[in-house]
Structure 1
Amino acid sequence: MGDSPTWTAAPGAAQRARSVLATAWSCAVSAQGGREEFVGAHTVAEDGRVLLRLPGDSALGAAALCAPRGELPAVLEFADVAPVPVRDRIRARLWLTGRFAHADEHLLFQPRRVVLRQAPAAVVVDPEEFAAAGPDPLASAEARLLTHLADAHPDVVRRLTRLVAADSLHGAVRVRPLAVDRHGLTLRVERARTHGDVRLPFHTPADDVGRLTERMHALLTQASAASCPRALQRQRADGDG
């Protein structure tokens, strides 16, 4: 056997958590028994600390001013929503537990505990690993890339299903692109009452959009050499009728 590759076929939990944090547009904050929702109000530092800009009437700002030692314990929640309309669009949830402190006209949040929940379970991420990790290099472009793939190239998605095992496509009524990162593309296979996800790993990581194009072409070349799954053939035949 040859040497093992230095990359993995899926992002690690720390990088996945940082990707959720980097791309989330909204944030829910729970503190002192209350909960507030903020939209477009947070930014993220390189080490994963969260800077929250508050409206003047925010109860959270008043609570932080009155907190002992100027530190307010809180829990921040972020949701990762699939950019392409699919069944069950929440791909992951991220919870950060820590403390707020005042920083000029903002509140600065230092995470002490990091929990990432995605199928099939939740995982606790080491805070130091979280701080040291960065988001996936494709995270900021993912929404645009997946939306373009789904809307402009449904034929490409159909061709890629040739790389999916026939049993995974059994009963499929729709296949849509769910996620993409430097390690691979994930498809959501929807059936009449259920759904499942299938991962198509790249042969080497794609660290920018240019390399992603190359990796997608490699997957399509593999798909062209594969036979069309019987389950999908039956699906098309039924639809043509």
Structure 2
Amino acid sequence: MTAIDRSGYIARDTAGSVRPVPCDAERIQTACRRVHEGTLSVDGCGPAAVAMVHLFESEAFMVVPDDASVREPAGQELDGIPAMLELADCAPISLRERVRSLIWLSGRVHSVPAALERELAVEITGDHPDARLLDVGHGHCLLRLHVDNAVIASATGAASVDAHTLSGAEPDPFWEYEGQWLSHLEADHRDLVDRLTLLFPDHLRDGRVRPLGLDRFGITFRVETPTADNDVRLSFDRPCTGVGDLSAALHDLVAHA
């Protein structure tokens, strides 16, 4: 088991060994790829429902309804208008508490010229496939948030990330597959989950164990008891770079158990 350092960069296992974990900027980049909805807030305008977010370096492109009240003022100001985007990263399976982290992106929001929206949506699809991009030009439009600062809050604490650091981070390579892997593990491989609980501290083995998160450095489980939720992270021996590595790393953990 590992305990995550509040810096979000390292963790220490029960033997005191340092284990890498995703940095805060990477966690934000990854979460933005996974979120299904968000809320854009601008002073003087009603909150706008955001259908999807594509974070490229420090620019967040959002799909919002055409009638969002923020659209008109965002197009009138050359330098954009101050705005904050709030997102919730939720576990892909049904848990008692599904929210894994909350993210706030603050900066200035701009409209995207109508003549460029469809072309930009197609370009985004190549890196971030999402069916909701098909709605651009059909009742929805694109807005761009130039991010000045980002904040992420989770069970391990809260952290602020500046735009430069955010620009240099990449999403976890398994962001697109995490939901499928965890759902498959939950539904079809309870035997593996039960084996992995042997690596947990004794006092956390009696609760209901559910897969919570997966990244290139390890896998996290949620232990639900009648009175509390506790998260347990199991680190891989080495970072995974491909699906084959990930499968081998999970089986290595089972072998250790």
TM-score (norm 1): 0.83
Amino acid paired to 1:62? E
User: 8 Å contact 1:188–1:195 — kept in the other structure?
Assistant: yes
Larger Rg: 1
Amino acid paired to 1:101? H
Distance 1:8 1:14 in 2: 18
SS at match of 2:145: strand
User: 8 Å contact 1:177–1:188 — kept in the other structure?
Assistant: yes
CA 54–195 in structure 1, closer or farther in 2 if over 3 Å, else same: closer
Q: Deviations over 1:168-193 (max 9, x none)?
A: 33xx3310111110000111111111
Of Structure 1 and Structure 2, which has the larger fraction of its residues in helix?
1
Distance 1:70 1:9 in 2: 39
Counting only pairs closer than 5 Å after superposition, residues 18-97 of structure 1 correspond to structure 2 as: 18-33=29-44, 34-40=46-52, 42-45=53-56, 47-67=57-77, 69-97=78-106
Q: Which runs of 5+ in 2 are unaligned?
A: 1-17, 115-141
Aligned to 1:184: 218
SS at match of 2:86: strand
Return structure 1 stretches of 4+ with deviation > 2 angstroms.
42-45, 52-56
Aligned to 1:211: 245
Shift, 1:89, TM fit: 0.6
Give the share of equivalent positions with the same residue, in percent.
33
Shift, 1:165, TM fit: 1.4
Distance 1:44 1:205 in 2: 23
CA RMSD of aligned residues (A): 1.6
After alignment, is 180-189 or 120-129 more displaced? 120-129
Q: Does 1:9 align with 2:20?
A: yes
Q: Deviations over 1:199-223 (max 9, x none)?
A: 1000001122211001011001101
User: 8 Å contact 1:70–1:102 — kept in the other structure?
Assistant: no
Q: Does 1:160 align with 2:196?
A: yes
CA 156–135 in structure 1, closer or farther in 2 if over 3 Å, else same: same
Distance 2:88 2:64 in 1: 20
After alignment, is 47-56 or 136-145 more displaced? 47-56
Amino acid paired to 2:235? P
Distance 1:162 1:56 in 2: 52
Amino acid paired to 2:32? L
SS at match of 2:65: coil
CA 193–52 in structure 1, closer or farther in 2 if over 3 Å, else same: same
TM-score (norm 2): 0.78
Q: Deviations over 1:95-128 (max 9, x none)?
A: 0000012322332211001101111321001221
User: 8 Å contact 2:148–2:162 — kept in the other structure?
Assistant: no
* Residue 174 of structure 1, aligned match among 191, 196, 208: 208
User: 8 Å contact 2:106–2:149 — kept in the other structure?
Assistant: yes
Aligned to 1:227: none
